[in-house]
Structure 1
Amino acid sequence: MEDPPCVYDRSEYIETDTGNKVSRYSVICGSQNIVLGGKTVIQRDCMVRGDLRRTGAGHAVVVAIGRYCFLGERCVVRPPCKTYKGQFNYYPMKIADHVFIGEDSVIEAAQIGSYVHIGKNCIIGRFAIIKDCCRILDGAVVPPNAVIPSFSVYGGNPARLVDELPESIQEVYEQHSKEFFEEKFVLA
C-alpha cells in the first residue's frame, strides 16, 4: 500500500523563487555563501554551515547544493577543513543534483555526485568524494578522504562495498526525487 501524500505546512517553510523549500526551524549559517539549485528541500532542525569558509575578502560559495535534493531532519552539512602549511582552512563542498540525505546524518564531504542516496544516521568524513549513482546505507561511516565509486552500495563502520547498483539507477533516483518533491510537498 502506498503512503498518502504528506501535506506540508506552508507556514513552516520559506519558499524561494526557484522552488526551494527551507524549514523556518532549520539553522542556515552564512546564507550568502550557500547556493541552492532549485526544488531542494531542507527539513526542520537541519544545520547548513555556510559561515565556515576560508579567511579573506569577498564572498565565496562554501556549500553548493543542486536541484531536487532533500536534506532530512536534524542532518548537519558543513564544509571540510584541514590544516595545511600551518594554516587552518575550510574548503568548499559541492552536492550535485538528485541527492537524498537521510535524517540525523553528518556530511563533511568535499563532493557528492548526482543520484546519490545517503541513509539515516550516516557520517560522511572530511574530504570524502562520493561519485554519481551511489547508495550509502543507514548508519554507515564513510572515513575521511574515501572515494566511493559510481554504482556502488556502501555500508557499515567503516563503510565498505556491500553491493553494486544497476546502470538504470540514475533514472530510478531521478524519478524518485521528482515524485517525492511533487507528491510529498503538496500545499495545505
Structure 2
Amino acid sequence: GEYIETVRPPQSFPPSHPQNSAFASQLTDTQDTGNKVSRRSQIIGTTNIILGGKTVIQAEVIIRGDLLRAHQNGAEKQGTPVAVAIGRYCFFSKGCELRPPGKVYKGYVYLPICFLLLLLLLFLFLLYTPTLSHHSTEPANTQHSWFSHYPLKIADHVFIGPSSVIEAALIGSHVSIGANCTIGKFAIIKDYVKVLDGTVVPPNTVVPSFSIVAGRPGRVVGEIAEGEIEGMDLRE
C-alpha cells in the first residue's frame, strides 16, 4: 500500500530504517502508535526524529533529521540528539518540508594565557618601536563564527498543508498551516493558530495564540472564533 503503519512506542525511527525513505517493512512491537508514513516520503536522519503517534506523513514530504546542532550540551551528548520532535495527531501534506532552523553564531576563542602574554609583549614592542609605528597595534582577532541548527519542535494536532516549508523553532498545538506557506527560521507559532494559504511568516516572528495569519509578510488578520477551536482537533 501507499502507507506503512508503524507499530513502535513513541520514540525515534529505528536505526535499521534506511535513510532517504519511509519504513521499508512493518515493525512488530506490541504498542501500535498509529503513525502512517508514505513509502514515497523522504525521511533523512531518522534516528534524530521523534514521532509521538497517530501522525500521517504523505508522499514527497521531506523531514531533515540530519540537520543537527553543531555544539551539543552535556545532556545531548549522552543520548541520541534530536533534530525534529513531532507530537501526536499531526498531518503533513504532500510535498511539505520540515527543516530545523539554522544560523551563524559568533563567539570568541579562549586562548591560553601564555599566548595572551605573547600578544601583550608584541603589542608593547610595536607601541614603543618608532620604526614600526606604522604597523597595526591591534592584537590578533580571536572572534570566530560557526553555523549550527536548532531543533524543530512540533506539538500535537498540527496540520501542514501541501508544499509548505517549515523552519520554525516551535509550532504549538492545534495549529493549521495552509498550502504553499513559508514559516521562517526560528519563528514561534503558539497554540490555536491558523496560517492561511500562501502566507510567508518572517524569521524570528512570534505568532500569538488564537491568531489568524495571512500575507507576505504574514501578519495577524483575525482571531480564531470559539466555535472553530473544536474543529482544530485532528484526533479523528
Residue number in structure 1 paired with 2:180: 121
Distance apart, 1:35 and its partner CA: 0.4
Moved over 3 A (4+): 55-58, 167-170
Give 2:89's aligned residue: 68
Q: Could you state the TM-score of these two structures normalised by the residue count of structure 2?
A: 0.69
Alignment partner for residue 203 of structure 2, among 144, 147, 153? 144
Cα distance in structure 2, aligned partners of 1:132 and 1:65: 15
SS of the aligned residue for 2:235 comes to: helix
Question: Given residue 100 of structure 2, which amino acid in structure 1 is its aligned partner?
Answer: P
Tell me whether 1:59 sits opposite 2:49 in the alignment: no
Equivalent residues in 2 for 1:67-86, closer than 5 Å: 67-85=88-106, 86=145
Tell me whether 84-93 or 125-134 shows the greater mean CA deviation.
Answer: 84-93
Which whole-Å CA distance do the structure 2 matches of 1:81 and 1:49 have between them?
12
TM-aligned CA distance change 1:60 to 1:168, over 3 Å: farther
What is the correspondence of 1:1-20 to structure 2 with a 5 Å cutoff?
11-17=1-7, 18-20=33-35
Cα offset for 1:171? 2.2
Structure 2 equivalent of residue 98 of structure 1: 157
Residues 1:135 and 2:125 are matched in the alignment: no
CA deviations over 1:109-154 (Å, ceiling 9, x no partner):
0000000000000000000000000000000000000000000000
d(CA) in 1 for partners of 2:80, 2:104: 21
- The answer on whether the counterparts of 1:36 and 1:66 sit within 8 Å (CA) in structure 2 is yes
Which amino acid is the alignment partner of residue 215 of structure 2? G
Shift of 1:161: 1.1
Q: Which of 15, 19, 41 does residue 26 from structure 1 map onto?
A: 41
**Using CA pairs below 8 Å that are at least 6 residues apart, which structure has the higher relative contact order?**
1
Aligned length: 167
C-alpha distance in 1 between matches for 2:83 and 2:58: 20
Instruction: Report which stretch shifted further, 158-167 or 37-46.
Output: 158-167
Partner residue in 1 for 2:61: 46
Q: 1:159-178 counterparts in 2 under 5 A?
A: 159-174=218-233, 177-178=234-235
Normalising by structure 1, what TM-score? Answer: 0.86
- Equivalents in 1 of 2:62, 2:46: separation in Å? 11
For residues 168 and 42 of structure 1, the distance between their equivalents in structure 2, rounded to whole angstroms, comes to: 28
Specify the SS of the correspondent of 2:60.
coil
RMSD: 1.2
Give unpaired runs (5+ residues) of structure 2. Answer: 8-32, 107-144
The partner residue of 1:35 within 50, 59, 66 is 50
In structure 2, what is the equivalent of residue 156 of structure 1? 215
Structure showing greater Rg: 2
Secondary structure at 1:32 match in 2: helix
Per-residue deviation at 1:97? 0.2
5+ residue gaps in structure 1?
1-10, 180-188
Higher strand share: 1
